[in-house]
Amino acid sequence: MNIIGTLCVYAAICKHEGFSLKFPGNKESWEYYYVASDANLIAEQQIWAVMDPNARNEAFNCSNGDVFKWKHLLKELVGQFGIENYGFAGSEKVSLVELMKDKGLVWDAIVRENKLQLTKLEEVEAWWFTDLVLKGGDIMNSMNKSKEYGYLGFRNCKKALVVWIDKNKTYKIVP
């Protein structure tokens, strides 16, 4: 699943409608530490695990190697879409499933006006998955075993976020 693509779609809809972007999570998910796993890093680690004889038949976690808080990364996301009003909405969790349930026609207009790839909203979002990930609580894992076996790959979460937003824009998935 791709939480960044979904957040890009959410940001595009908020921008199009002139709405503030409410963080789709609760206070815990806003404040707690998270780890992320860049898709290219996962691919690199998988190739390493197949090629390195010591790593064969072993299970490894894969994450970028740093931690972040959504309250810091959200600023980067909204900046990429030119959204000025954003943040944590208060004590109640914002559900993207509920908030975005009737936005198919809005997405169609965004696609048409920006000459994006012809997609339907349900093809470019995973509201339920984003709601699940942002339900609150620390989400952490360790890369120690990978490092002990010789894999030292890493990504900076903030930089990776920008890279994936840029890819979504370059491939005309979002404006």
CA distance 144 to 97: 36
- Which of the residue ranges 6-10, 118-122, 136-140, 169-173 would you say has the lowest mean pLDDT? 136-140
Provide the pLDDT confidence category of residue 35 given band limits of 50, 70 and 90: very high
The residue-averaged pLDDT of 48-64 equals 95
pTM value is: 0.91
The residue-averaged pLDDT of 65-73 equals 93
- Token digits of residue 118: 């012809």
Does the structure show a pLDDT above 80 at 92? no
Residues 131-159: tens digit of each pLDDT:
998 987 777 899 999 999 999 999 999 99
The residue-averaged pLDDT of 27-42 equals 92
Can you say whether the dihedral through the CA atoms of 62, 63, 65, 67 is positive or negative?
A: negative
Does the structure show a pLDDT above 90 at 162? yes
The residue-averaged pLDDT of 83-91 equals 87
CA distance 127 to 101: 9
Burial tier of 13 (Cβ tally within 10 Å: 0-12, 13-18, 19+): buried
The residue-averaged pLDDT of 90-116 equals 93
The residue-averaged pLDDT of 50-77 equals 94
| Domain extents in the chain | 3-170
**CATH architecture assigned to 3-170:** 3-Layer(aba) Sandwich (3.40)
| CA max distance for the chain | 54
Measure CA 87 to chain center. Answer: 16
